Every structure is written in structure tokens, then in C-alpha cells.
């Protein structure tokens, strides 16, 4: 089992460079989430003042490590303290 590489590593916050082909923030519920599930995820993360990782980068699926979901970042980075700070300090690293 490989060592986990979280979105914050190497002094940078890694964010997907673009939305995945089935990003939960694209229209059409491409991930087939149950009704209200995305709203619940967003609410939970906003209450915790945190972001969530792109599903295509979790559990070692991406050799580069985990990255913040681009859709979430685009929608909520200005509201989430750690993301606002990372943007202000120029610590965002876009990950393919």
C-alpha cells in the first residue's frame, strides 16, 4: 500500500487543473449521486471550513497524489479559509 499524499503537501495546495469528466459539479449528476447528496457534502465541508479531494485522486488512484476538486474550488475557494489563504499566498499548484 502506497503512502497517502494529501492535497496539501510540499508546502502547496494541489488543485485539479480542470474538472473531471464526471465531476459532481458538472450538470447532469454524472456520478449518479442520490438526491441531496452533493448539497450535503458541500454543507458538511463548508461547516468544517475545508475542501474535499477530487474523487479521481483518492485512494491512490492518481500517482501524483490527491488534489482538491476543481469544481469545489471554483465554487467555494473564496469562502473556505485555508483555500483563501493558499490563493492569497500563491500556494496553489494545479495538478493535471
Q: Contact 4/59 with Cβ under 8 angstroms?
A: no
Say how far apart CA 17 and CA 7 lie, in whole Å: 13
Q: Please give the pLDDT value at position 2.
A: 57
Q: Which residue has the higher pLDDT, 16 or 3?
A: 16
Residue 1 lies in a domain: no
Residue 89 lies in a domain: yes
Q: What is the pLDDT of residues 23-51, one digit of tens each?
A: 999 999 888 999 999 999 999 999 999 99
Q: Contact 54/24 with Cβ under 8 angstroms?
A: no
Residue 91 lies in a domain: yes
Q: Please give the pLDDT value at position 11.
A: 96
**Grid cell 479521481 — which residue?**
56
Query: How many domains in the chain?
Result: 1
> What DSSP element (H or E) covers 15?
strand 12-16
Residue 2 lies in a domain: no
Q: Please give the pLDDT value at position 43.
A: 97
Say how far apart CA 17 and CA 68 lie, in whole Å: 10
Residue 27 lies in a domain: yes
Amino acid at each position: 500500500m502506497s503512502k497517502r499524499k494529501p492535497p496539501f503537501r510540499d508546502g502547496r495546495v494541489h488543485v485539479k487543473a480542470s474538472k473531471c469528466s464526471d465531476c459532481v459539479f458538472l450538470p447532469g449528476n454524472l456520478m449518479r449521486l442520490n438526491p441531496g447528496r452533493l448539497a450535503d457534502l458541500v454543507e458538511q465541508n463548508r461547516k468544517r471550513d475545508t475542501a474535499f479531494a477530487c474523487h479521481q485522486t483518492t485512494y491512490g488512484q492518481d500517482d501524483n497524489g490527491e488534489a482538491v476538486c476543481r469544481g469545489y474550488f471554483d465554487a467555494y475557494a473564496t469562502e473556505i479559509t485555508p483555500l483563501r489563504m493558499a490563493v492569497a499566498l500563491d500556494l496553489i499548484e494545479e495538478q493535471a
